[in-house]
Amino acid sequence: MPALGSAEFGVRTFYAASHPNDKCGPNGLPLTPNSVKILGRFQYLTTLSHPRLCQYLDISKTKHECMIVISEHHKSSVKEKLNSGQGLSENAAVSLGFQILEGLTFLHEKNVVHRNLSMDNILIEKQGNIKLSEYGLYYMTDYGADVSFPIGLPHYMAPEVLCSGPLKVDEDSGQCIQPISGPKVDVWSFGIILLELLLGREVWSGLSLQETFVKLMLLIKSDMSPLDYLCQDASLSEKLKGTSKELKDLLRLCLTVSSSKRATSEEVKQHPIFRSSRENAVAHKREFDIFTAEVRSADLELPTYEETIANDFSDDHLSQRSMQEVYYLWRLAGGDLDGALRKAGMSKTRPPIHLLPCYGILDGDVFGQDRDNAELLNNTVITLSQEQLRFRLREIPATAYYPLLEDESKYLSENQLPASPSYGDLANSATLPLVIREKDVDYQFHRIILFERLLNAYPFKRPYIWREARVDIPPLVRAHVWAAILEVEGDLEGWYTSIDKETPTATDRQIEVDIPRCHQYHELLSSPTAHAKFKRVLKAWVLSNPQYVYWQGLDSLCAPFLALSFNSEALAFACLSAFIPKYLHKFFLRDNSAVIQEYLAVFSHLISFHDPELGNHLDGIGFIPDLYAIPWFLTMYAHVFPLHKIVHLWDTLLLGNSSFPLCIGVAILQQLRDRLLSFGFNECILLFSDMPEIDIERCVQDSIRIFCSTPKSATYRQHARPLKPKNSTDRPNVSYYSRDYHDQPQTDLSMEPIPLEELKSEKYPRISAEDLIELGELAGSANSRSPTKKRQNSKPMILILDVRHHEEYKRGTLQGSINIPFQTAFSPEGELNPCPAVQILNSRRNQVIVVVGNRGRFAANFANELVRLGYSRVCVLHKGIDIFRTTNLLIIPPADI
């Protein structure tokens, strides 16, 4: 995306044609509104960046199919040059013409036909270079089929366009019946424009619409060459007399009626007359891409100091930022599109009561309605004032635009926020709710700049990105930050291209059925463009993972990635490919029941562990996780929430390990706790069939809390992803807890697979001896594996409860444990018999209770009873006390407690 420079933001509106009532497409679903189609097609245009083109920035859709397009804009246009009345000199016209051609050839190379070239939309920027604008209208409207107005002005209309007649739309396909205009129509328009530049006035000035058409028609029908035909006009031939033969030749090349004889834009550009222009032209540099196998700094040239000075080093640092970024900040700084349009009188519509029809029939057709004149195409461009944004950012010092990443002193500091003079403010902002931070222009400004620099240094700066992402992720750069967190790197485009996404396969049908139901409230994702992309990405995933199958839900998983990296299917695909093994290892096996069953069993353990009351209630009414939680986990909540909530959830989820999603599940249940406790089975089913609103930020905070208070081995699953071969050192080892359990080396004291039956019969999680040692600091705090200094609450406190016979306990137990022998613990009513040890147990209720027994079922039964009694955070030591025999951690308890 090019830098802002001296560009302004221009806004145009137009109305998409509305469909006749209740028409259905070939798939039986209602037709997609044209506005949504346009929205989808538009996205490609934002990827076109060229110095001779006005950058497209954004599109939005308002009520009644009105589209608002925001693009780069410059105030003066070539038309003003024309209005001076004087024609340009041959040299001036040629050099202007060459610049237009540069833009046109770039467009044609990218398969975009302008079709709309006219004097009005050839703009001139401050330095005097030209920029084409409005070049995407023909493309984004599906070659004019989605709008009811014609594209291109009659003056510049190529003969074949005129002869094809006004556009007609095929009722069934929604596409135009006439052939789509080829790039050569632009060459004709270019010829006319060149002629007008020389002439200093319009070729057919002062003619009415009809007269223009008649003239053009006569020109087409005559056998003279168009240039000769036009030269019948005395003033024109006068003007052309003085010009070189080469120029006339060029004009003839362009102004040829027959398309096959007309030159292409590239051929015109190679015309001898442009020789010197071509030599002086600066090659257009390719966009910087962080995911590539090429050497990214190959043609990096650092300007010398002198050059920088010579290039008029400006104090306007904002203008050095990318246009998209400035536009994003503009919106945050209170930039109000509707307001600007209203002020300019562009959004003025007639009151709806005047437009209402007066009669409607059963089939839905209505009669007697009025058309709103506001729907006619209005070519006015509104420029958005950047004043407010600049005012908001005026206090920001120049250094904040160029933050240093390699400053060692800050690198080590506790707080991870970028250091800037307004640092104090930022630290404050960082504690505000996320929704507010995302709307705070100052805060976002700093965050975006920081992330942008970090991403440029990706993958080298991955640990830094990781750390910053723990604070928050600015929405503007989210797609790339997620990719960085998922450790995506390399030549994604090449990888994606090499997968065959076109050949039909057996899963196509299911994919086609699922896509039109996946997050369709999202305007972008409901467009046909998105559907096509969806299909390609999903097919690519299925093909590149032959061991897996397509399960419904994969579409939901794909949606957040596709919505974020809409213009890069490869990136969306790569993220999806990295995400699934991390969180959903083996979930997409043809027979995934063992994997899912284990996952759900662990989930119910976790519910009981954190909320035994709720767990007991749900168990009691038979509302087991199988009934509601499978779509949660299979889609990592992407099927449950709307996209704007998913992104916030995943911002945190991506930083957590593969067990974190379980904690989110518990957090969701806790938010609905009151209702669930009061509900019976049927009401619970009803509640989850249509998920109530969930406060996502609270959910995220809760799940982090739950995660931190859960011993790592409690969420052990044998089907989780096994240890990765390479031990990535990229990610900072910030805490013992955010690592996957499987990433730690295995020892005798580690967790091991438990048969599913056993897992399901238990109401509590098991923890490993290793975890017990860690949590109880049995080996002394120096041996702790977590490198970060623990705060008081960063790690759960534990209480070790030895349930063996008192004699056995006497012979040797773990340090700090208390003893309640199982045989004597419970009264006939099932209550705990009071004794000093029970008092200790009751007084330390918020701690993790580790029930330790030996090989028998004592520990298991004891723990089940505790859960039944509503004790929270009960777990059992896996394999009992015997496992400690080989260690030297067993001690003789002090006499009598």
Partner 1 sequence: MPHSIEKDFTYSFDTKTTTSSLKVPLTVPLHISAKEFVSRLVHLHNLPCFVQQDLEDKLEEFVAKETIQLHDKNADDAIQKVKTGEIDSDDLIRQWLPVYSQELKSYAKPYQLSKDEKFAEVYHNLIHSPALETLLNLEHEYSLGVDKLTRERDRDLQHLQDKQRADMDEALQNVGSIYKDEDINLLAQKQFENTQIVEGKWSSELRALHEQQKNEYREWVFQVHEDSKGKAPLPAYVQRLRSLSSTLPDAGVDERQAHVTRLEESFTIHLGAQMKTTHNLRLLCTDILDLCRHKPHTVGGMVIPQPQRLQTAMSLYSNNLCGLILLADNRLNSYTGIKQKFAQICDSSTDFHFPTLDSQLQTIEQQLPKAAEVKAKKKGGNDDMDQLSLHSTSSSSSEEKEKSGDKKLHSGDFYLTKHSNLSEVHVVFHVVSDDNLRTSDITSRHPVILSIRNIIKLCFRYDINTLTVPLLLTHEMSEEMTISWCMKRAELMFKCVKGFMIEMATYSSQESKTIQFLVPRGLSEELFHQISNMIPTIFRLSNPLVVKSN
Binding to partner 1 in span 480-519, by CB under 8 A: 497-503, 519
Q: What part of residues 30-59 is at the interface with partner 1 (CB under 8 A)?
A: 30, 32-33, 36
How far from 244 is each of 89, 366, 604, CA to CA, in Å? 11, 62, 86
Among 5, 95, 129, 162, binds partner 1 (CB under 8 A): 162
Give yes or no for residue 521 binding partner 1 (CB under 8 A).
yes
Q: What part of residues 112-131 is at the interface with partner 1 (CB under 8 A)?
A: none
CB 247 within 8 A of CB 94: yes
Give yes or no for residue 690 binding partner 1 (CB under 8 A).
yes
Rg for the chain, CA atoms, rounded: 34
3-class SS letters over 723-790: CCCCCCCCCCCCCCCCCCHHHCCCCCCCCCCCCHHHHHHCCCCEECHHHHHHHHCCCCHHHCCCCCCC
Among 87, 136, 154, 625, binds partner 1 (CB under 8 A): 154
| DSSP symbol at 715 | G
Give yes or no for residue 160 binding partner 1 (CB under 8 A).
yes
Minimum CB distance to partner 1 smaller for 397 or for 692: 692
Minimum CB distance to partner 1 smaller for 71 or for 526: 526
> What is the smallest separation between the CB atom of 378 and partner 1, expressed in angstroms?
4
Q: What part of residues 776-795 is at the interface with partner 1 (CB under 8 A)?
A: none
Give yes or no for residue 357 binding partner 1 (CB under 8 A).
yes
Angle between helices 643-653 and 696-708 in degrees, nearest 10: 20
Give yes or no for residue 630 binding partner 1 (CB under 8 A).
no
Minimum CB distance to partner 1 smaller for 302 or for 358: 358
**Cα(718)–Cα(698) distance, integer angstroms:** 30
Nearest Cα to Cα of residue 219 among 256, 273, 262: 256
Residue identified by tokens 């990096």 is: 300
Only one of the segments 88-96, 288-296, 461-469, 684-692 lies at the binding site for partner 1 (rule: CB under 8 A); that segment is: 684-692
> What is the smallest separation between the CB atom of 477 and partner 1, expressed in angstroms?
24
CA geometry: angle at 171 spanning 169 and 174, to 5°? Answer: 60
Hey, what are 870's tokens?
A: 């509503």
Give yes or no for residue 220 binding partner 1 (CB under 8 A).
yes
Residue 310 makes CB contacts below 8 A (sequence gap 6+) with: none
Residue 272 makes CB contacts below 8 A (sequence gap 6+) with: 246
Q: What one-character-per-residue DSSP string does 621-688 give?
A: HT--GGGTTHHHHHTTTTTTS-HHHHHHHHHHHTTS-TTHHHHHHHHHHHHTHHHHHH--HHHHHHHH
Among 639, 721, 795, 878, binds partner 1 (CB under 8 A): 639
Give yes or no for residue 892 binding partner 1 (CB under 8 A).
no
Minimum CB distance to partner 1 smaller for 379 or for 783: 379
CB 132 within 8 A of CB 52: yes
> What is the smallest separation between the CB atom of 567 and partner 1, expressed in angstroms?
14
73 forms beta bridges with: 8
Kindly report the number of other CB atoms within 10 A of residue 407's CB atom: 12
Among 128, 364, 755, 870, binds partner 1 (CB under 8 A): 364
How far from 148 is each of 143, 152, 166, 591, CA to CA, in Å? 11, 13, 10, 52
> What is the smallest separation between the CB atom of 565 and partner 1, expressed in angstroms?
17
How far from 805 is each of 305, 794, 827, CA to CA, in Å? 82, 34, 17
Residues near partner 1 (CB under 8 A), total: 89
Give yes or no for residue 642 binding partner 1 (CB under 8 A).
yes
> What is the smallest separation between the CB atom of 708 and partner 1, expressed in angstroms?
23
CB 358 within 8 A of CB 43: no
**Cα(767)–Cα(444) distance, integer angstroms:** 42
Q: What one-character-per-residue DSSP string does 317-365 give?
A: GGGGSBHHHHHHHHHHTT--HHHHHHHTTTT----HHHH--SEE-TTS-
Q: What part of residues 431-490 is at the interface with partner 1 (CB under 8 A)?
A: none
Only one of the segments 322-330, 372-380, 405-413, 812-820 lies at the binding site for partner 1 (rule: CB under 8 A); that segment is: 372-380
> What is the smallest separation between the CB atom of 575 and partner 1, expressed in angstroms?
20
> What is the smallest separation between the CB atom of 362 and partner 1, expressed in angstroms?
4
Only one of the segments 197-205, 351-359, 770-778, 801-809 lies at the binding site for partner 1 (rule: CB under 8 A); that segment is: 351-359
Give yes or no for residue 156 binding partner 1 (CB under 8 A).
no
**Cα(209)–Cα(265) distance, integer angstroms:** 28
Mask for 226-265, x = binds partner 1 (CB under 8 A)? -------------------------------xxxx---x-
Give yes or no for residue 379 binding partner 1 (CB under 8 A).
yes
Minimum CB distance to partner 1 smaller for 457 or for 643: 643
Give yes or no for residue 187 binding partner 1 (CB under 8 A).
no
Give yes or no for residue 224 binding partner 1 (CB under 8 A).
no
> What is the smallest separation between the CB atom of 481 and partner 1, expressed in angstroms?
23
Only one of the segments 448-456, 635-643, 788-796, 799-807 lies at the binding site for partner 1 (rule: CB under 8 A); that segment is: 635-643
Cβ-in-10-Å burial (0-12, 13-18, 19+) of 150 comes to middle
> What is the smallest separation between the CB atom of 692 and partner 1, expressed in angstroms?
6
Minimum CB distance to partner 1 smaller for 161 or for 803: 161
Hey, what are 134's tokens?
A: 């409005």
Length in residues, the chain: 897
> What is the smallest separation between the CB atom of 333 and partner 1, expressed in angstroms?
24
> What is the smallest separation between the CB atom of 221 and partner 1, expressed in angstroms?
6
Q: What part of residues 14-33 is at the interface with partner 1 (CB under 8 A)?
A: 30, 32-33
Give yes or no for residue 287 binding partner 1 (CB under 8 A).
no
Q: What part of residues 536-565 is at the interface with partner 1 (CB under 8 A)?
A: none
Kindly report the number of other CB atoms within 10 A of residue 552's CB atom: 16
> What is the smallest separation between the CB atom of 890 and partner 1, expressed in angstroms?
43
> What is the smallest separation between the CB atom of 78 and partner 1, expressed in angstroms?
18
> What is the smallest separation between the CB atom of 84 and partner 1, expressed in angstroms?
22
